[in-house]
Chains A and B, each alone.
Chain A
Amino acid sequence: MKRKNVTRVAALTLAGLMAAGSLAGCGESSSQGGSTGGDAKKGKVYYLNFKPEQDAAWQDLAAKYTEETGVQVTVKTAAEGTYEQTLTAEMDKSEAPTLFQVNGPVGLANWKDYCEDLSKSDIYSQLTSQDYGLKDGDAVYGVGYVIETYGIIYNKTLLQKYCDSDFATVKSIDEINSFEKLKTVADEIQANKEALGVDGAFTSAGMEASSDWRFKTHLANLPIYFEYKDEGISSTDAIKGTYLDNYKNIFDLYITDSTCKGSDLANKTGSDAETEFATGKAVFYQNGTWEYGMLTGKDPKSTFEMTDDQLGMLPVYIGVGDEAKQGLCTGCENYWCVNKDASEDDKAATLDFMNWCVTSEVGTTALADDMGFVIPFKAAKEATNVFVKLDNELTANGKTPVSWNFTTMPSENWKNGVGTALTQYAAGTGEWDDVVKAFVDGWKTEYAAANAG
């Protein structure tokens, strides 16, 4: 009898707890709204970070902020290439991210309903140029927080070695200022790879997911940039593909003067190319400022030890326009957005945190040194990143930076289609015509699908 009572009590308690638990779960979401202004001290920050390379640095910075202010900051990072998926899932939770990222106008169209207008915020007023705000009408839904640059990274030591050789027609690195010259250099390096001790002129143009964005997105920016420039537009519902032949020429160069066969590219990864470059097996490597930490070993995950004087970056020449004046590709695809649906306290805390990151000594130092970012804010620290310095130098010398227009690509699906077509073209199982079709016709179809209704 006694034992039964115990079980009964236990069972009832358990059932009671469960019911209480589920009720509490339902009640939580009703606490938002109401108060205006919000108390930042009571709020908390949940930042869903886009850049896996900087995860450790963000965790560190968040901890410092919590130590200084007592406000809880959670940083989570989505795995490479899964930001959209992770964000979709996280936004559905009752504890949704208060701070997240979109990559530009197309990304914003996706998440606009969830973005707080930042036009009155402190952080927006801290921008060096209001152009870094992501606007829709009068509202500012995103604030670009990092400016990045990409181009063709080269190994200065090896390229100098080429210039000093008797087979070299180009005798100085400074002479490389057009697609023609670049092709000559690459072809000659490829023909004399044994003499130079390399496996190829270019690192493998890997088409695996960790690397294919270098070609389907970043390289594809160039024909889009020149077409937009011709037409005087900043986005389009149907691309003409005027410069796709030039796109083909540069891609051909990448896959012919390469460390490996075209059919091997389908499975070559980002770290394959990184390793080839950092270990001196290739001279050229298309990538950006964010690679600096890995190549020099400043990133704790890296085992490479390249030095600043070994590294240089060339503009991506594709043989269009005034190439002597062409600069590196510089732009922003990282915009901070604040979740409109977060509680007022959380929103206030988030805005404070963002502002602290770009104005405080600790924040700006971490962004510049630990993450290697150039941030477009008034209080920004000068970055130690050699590629960034180079970009500033080129711009100062009168070169025109190529802007980032890939943020206007219609959808992920479009990028994947072009990527697959490129992979098959590189392997010889597909035709260039398919790349053109996926590029031009696919753009139109995808744009229509993404913007219907």
Chain B
Amino acid sequence: MFGKGAASLPFLVKKERQMIMFKKRARKIYSLIFVLPTLAAFIIGFVYPFFNGIYLSFCKFKTTSNATFVGFDNYIQAFQNEGFLRSFWFTALFVVVSVILINLIAFFVAYVLTLGIRGSNVFRTIFFMPNLVGGIILGYIWQLIFNGILQNFGSNIELDATYGFWGLVILMCWQQAGYMMIIYIAGFQSVPADLYEAARIDGAGKKQVLTSVTLPMMMPSITICTFLTLTNSFKLFDQNLALTNGAPGVVSSSGTMVYQTEMMALNIYKTFYANQNSRGVGQAEGVIFFVLVVVIALAQLYFTRRKEVQQ
């Protein structure tokens, strides 16, 4: 409607022209008003807590409204926290393994389900479903399953860090692969058929089609999927809490328990509530964690984006 009005602008009399200009300005004001609720929500729900959180990481506090500034103390303590450092390496290992496995599984399933076999839609729905279940519930369900098997061998998922690690990996694959599969299916379907035809005419083999046509054309999907799996795995909390809660632990030389299957988010949560002085330390760990996730995610985006091709 607006475009039409603008096109006929030269033929309008002055008064009408002014009217349109007025409407244009009004539109701007309207759009501001309409964006206001969301903007307010964003500021209240994100911007303010975010900056307040950074400020609190430099404070000693009990409740957020009652904080005393202590400088870098919390950060020093955070880096001295054995559990935090241990959780970083555990998280890093988990991220590497789960990102690779989830994407391989999702890619493969998506490939199979785009071949046009009967019942593809049913399978897609079923594979996607685990994603709709909440993390805590999933964690408890899988704990029952794993323990049901492990108790025949006199063990338990909370007693062996290896079981705990692979338990988490299996759980995450099961939950995330379906979601990534949907993205990959969309990717597969967006590759134009004429590209395949051209490749075949040029005498490309199956392997060559995959590496020179499908994969480059799928790079946007791969970027998204690696980004999602990377950040999801890094920030994992619910599943970790419900499945192992960090157990088993090893007693360090200072007598504190260092938990073996504790990921960073869970460690931060536990540090926060550890004792009356630890809130700020937990907060500082949270800020360090944020910086880490942002840096790694941006690096990943940079590297996979470079491989994307224009269609």
Contact = CB atoms under 8 A, between A and B. Distances in A.
Interface in B237-259: 245, 247-251, 253-257, 259
Interface in B204-237: none
A416 B33 contact: no
A449 B63 contact: no
Chain B binding surface, main DSSP class: loop
Contacts of A79: none
A429 B159 contact: yes
B155 interface: yes
Nearest to A435: B251
A18 B256 contact: no
Interface of A: 7-8, 11-12, 14-15, 18, 22, 84-85, 88, 91-92, 109-111, 113-114, 209, 261, 263-264, 266-267, 410-413, 416-417, 420-421, 423-424, 427, 429-430, 434, 437-446, 449-453
Contact of A88 (B63, B151, B155, B277): B63
Nearest to A25: B44
Interface centre among B40, B64, B249, B251 (most CB of A within 10 A): B251
B156 interface: yes
B298 interface: no
A412 B282 CA distance: 15
Given A110-B62, A434-B251, A424 B159 contact: yes
Contact of A450 (B63, B143, B277): B277
B147 A267 contact: yes
A424 B247 CA distance: 9
10 contacts: A11-B34, A209-B245, A410-B275, A412-B274, A416-B257, A417-B251, A417-B256, A420-B248, A420-B259, A424-B249
Contacts of A427: 155-156, 159
Nearest to A444: B255
Given A443-B255, A450-B275, 18 more contacts: A92-B63, A110-B62, A261-B154, A263-B156, A266-B156, A266-B247, A267-B143, A267-B156, A411-B274, A411-B276, A412-B275, A417-B251, A417-B256, A421-B251, A427-B156, A429-B159, A430-B248, A449-B275
Interface residues of B, number: 42
Which 3 pairs of residues, A with B, have the shortest CB-CB distance? A441-B255, A442-B255, A417-B257
B72 interface: no
B108 interface: no
Secondary structure call for the A interface: helix
Contacts of A267: 143, 147, 156, 158
Contacts of A22: 40
A437 B247 contact: no
Contacts of B160: 429
B159 A446 contact: no
B158 A438 contact: no
B311 interface: no
Nearest to A431: B251
B63 A91 contact: yes
A91 B65 CA distance: 9
Given A18-B37, A84-B273, A110-B276, A266 B159 contact: yes
